[in-house]
Amino acid sequence: MTFQAPKGVPEYLPPRSAAFLAVRAAFAGAATAAGYSYIEVPVFEDTELFARGVGESTDVVTKEMYTFADRGGRSVTLRPEFTASVLRATLEHGLHTGQLPVKLWTAGPAFRYERPQAGRYRQLQQFDLEAIGTEDPAVDAETVAIAWAGYQALGLTRVRLLLNTLGCRQCRPAYRAALQDFLRGLDLDAPTRERAEVNPLRVLDDKRPEVRAQVENAPLITDHLCASCKAHHDRVRSLLEDLGVPWEDTPRLVRGLDYYSRTTYEFDHPLLGAQSAIGGGGRYDGLSEDIGGPPLPGIGFAVGVDRIMLALEAEGLLAETPARVAVYGVPMGEEAARRLFAVVNELRRAGVAADMAFDGKGLKGAMKGAARSGAAYALILGERDLAAGAVQVKNLASGEQTAVPLAEIIPTLQERLAGAAMPAPGA
């Protein structure tokens, strides 16, 4: 019997998996540069946290959660997203009683029982960033700029930033009522009419053409904002302008999770087809109270690492196979293998990524391994070299080969590799 990975769960194998780590690293780098610290939160939580935190009427909570009873009879759920967990951990450990805002990032898998298709998975990978305990619109702009910097660092050039505001507890109820009035006058099917009563904003997000056409003239939140939401929104936009981050005002943009207020945004990639959202975020000023905490405004985003991988592929940025190591040992015989094993280990300690041929491979097989590894240099050690206390250093690009005394091999290679693109160990 053979096994396959569960349906809708992408795996990342070498050499592509190097790009997967690079995506995380690009966003982690941008977050770290802005003073965000790493937080590790559980993969599963009390089901109630997500029910309250994500919203009882959302698709995520009603249809998509991986919920089960553990052996102690507690209802637990695999995290469908990170924000609720990060906020729960912040409250539980009192991080919000220190310096504000609390700035955190995390990354890993989230789980949603969706219908799998290209770019939509049941185990999805996110990079998540949260700034908790601030109402300053500059932090809204900061989160947008960090995500933007992450995409830029990866070399993506086609990313679009869609920006909106959802108003606040002051102005949204009146807008909601106006939108509901409008939706009640439309010719909608029963489930959509029901949705219009429970969560009318979500109807604006309906992808079906017949619904889209009808909501074309729906009232817009941007025409119903209170003075402070309008000022907040204008400030975010002018700060983004100062930073040179381009955006598109998208007054119909809503998001699938209930907790958003004021600033909301999405990053979209035009080459990805139906699942084109490669990240999204926004403000969640009421979420802390929803999960039993004190008033504690916050803003954050999550980007989809799987979809960013697809975007990199679509822009032709995944084509090259990255080198695994810089140096590859090719031993001829048992004693040579023993000496090279020590040399390779020393290289690694000196910060030079190195590997070697194992299993007593012959010259031909070992050189094939060297080529496949992407190494810049092969170290060939035969019996005659051993007797002479030297090793042959072969430049695998030019074919040029020189004998270097074994005692000088580490500084010689460091020198030759300096300036050349050298993968760090584990990169």
> Binding of ligand AMP at residue 256 (CB under 6 A)?
yes
Q: Which of 112, 232, 262, 394 binds ligand AMP (CB under 6 A)?
A: 112
C-beta closer to ligand AMP: residue 125 or 373: 125
What angle do helix axes 334-349 and 409-417 make, rounded to 10 degrees?
50
Query: Cα–Cα distance between 305 and 360 in angstroms, integer?
Result: 40
Contact flag: residue 205 with ligand AMP (CB under 6 A): no
Separation CA 119–CA 310 (nearest Å): 8
416 is in an annotated binding site: no
Q: What CA–CA distance (Å, rounded) separates 302 from 125?
A: 10
The smaller minimum CB distance to ligand AMP, of residues 255 and 324, is found at 255
137 lies in the site for ligand AMP, by CB under 6 A:
no
Residue from 289, 372, 297 nearest 328 by CA: 372
Find out whether 112 is annotated in a ligand binding site. yes
Residue 82 assigned ligand-binding role: yes
Candidates 219, 300, 304, 369; binder of ligand AMP (CB under 6 A) is: 304
Is residue 54 a contact point for ligand AMP (CB under 6 A)? no
Taking alpha carbons only, the member of 320, 315, 280 closest to residue 300 is: 280
CA distances 387 to 171, 361, 409, 410, Å, are 84, 21, 16, 19
The answer on whether 266 is annotated among ligand-binding residues is no
Residue indicated by tokens 């979420």: 287
With 0-12 / 13-18 / 19 or more C-beta atoms within 10 angstroms meaning exposed / middle / buried, residue 288 is: buried
Separation of alpha carbons 368 and 378, rounded Å: 11
Nearer to ligand AMP, 254 or 278 (CB): 278
Tokens of 241: 């302008």
Geometric angle at alpha carbon 293, from 107 and 93, rounded to 5°: 55
- Alpha helix locations (H) across 34-110? 47-54, 59-63, 83-92
Nearer to ligand AMP, 47 or 180 (CB): 47
Residue 202 lies near ligand AMP (rule: CB under 6 A):
no
User: HSE-up of 209 (CA within 13 Å, CB side)?
Assistant: 0
Considering only 302, 336, 367, 417, the residue that binds ligand AMP (CB under 6 A) is: 302
Tokens read off for 383: 């019996």
Residue 14 CA to residue 113 CA, distance in Å, equals 27
The whole-angstrom separation of Cα 139 and Cα 126 is: 21
Looking at beta carbons only, is 305 or 370 nearer to ligand AMP? 305
Whats the size of the chain, residue-wise? Answer: 427
Which C-beta is closer to ligand AMP: that of 278 or that of 343?
278
Pattern of binders to ligand AMP over 257-286, x per CB under 6 A?
Answer: --------------------xxxx------
Q: Which residue in 16, 120, 235, 361 binds ligand AMP (CB under 6 A)? A: 120
Choice from 307, 324, 339, 394 touching ligand AMP (CB under 6 A)? 307
Residue 45 touches ligand AMP, criterion: CB under 6 A: no
Q: Which of 81, 140, 258, 355 binds ligand AMP (CB under 6 A)?
A: 81
Provide, rounded to whole angstroms, the least separation between the CB of residue 128 and ligand AMP: 8
126 in a known ligand binding site: yes
DSSP string, 298-363: EEEEEEEHHHHHHHHHHTT-S-SPPPS-SEEEEE-SHHHHHHHHHHHHHHHHTT--EEE--TT--H
Please tell me whether 267 is known to bind a ligand.
no
Cβ proximity to ligand AMP: between 59 and 135 the closer is 59
Least separation in angstroms between residue 280's CB and ligand AMP is 4
Whole-angstrom Cα distance, residue 71 to residue 319?
A: 47
Q: Select 254 or 325, whichever has its Cβ closest to ligand AMP.
A: 254
Which of these ranges, 121-129, 205-213, 314-322, 402-410, lies near ligand AMP under the rule CB under 6 A?
A: 121-129
Least CB distance from residue 152 to ligand AMP, whole Å? 17
Would you say 36 or 260 has its CB closer to ligand AMP? 260
Annotated binding site for L-histidine: 81-83, 112, 126, 130, 255, 259-260
Annotated binding site: 81-83, 112, 126, 130, 255, 259-260
Binding residues for ligand AMP, per CB under 6 A?
81, 112, 114, 119-121, 124, 126, 255-256, 277-280, 302-304, 306-307
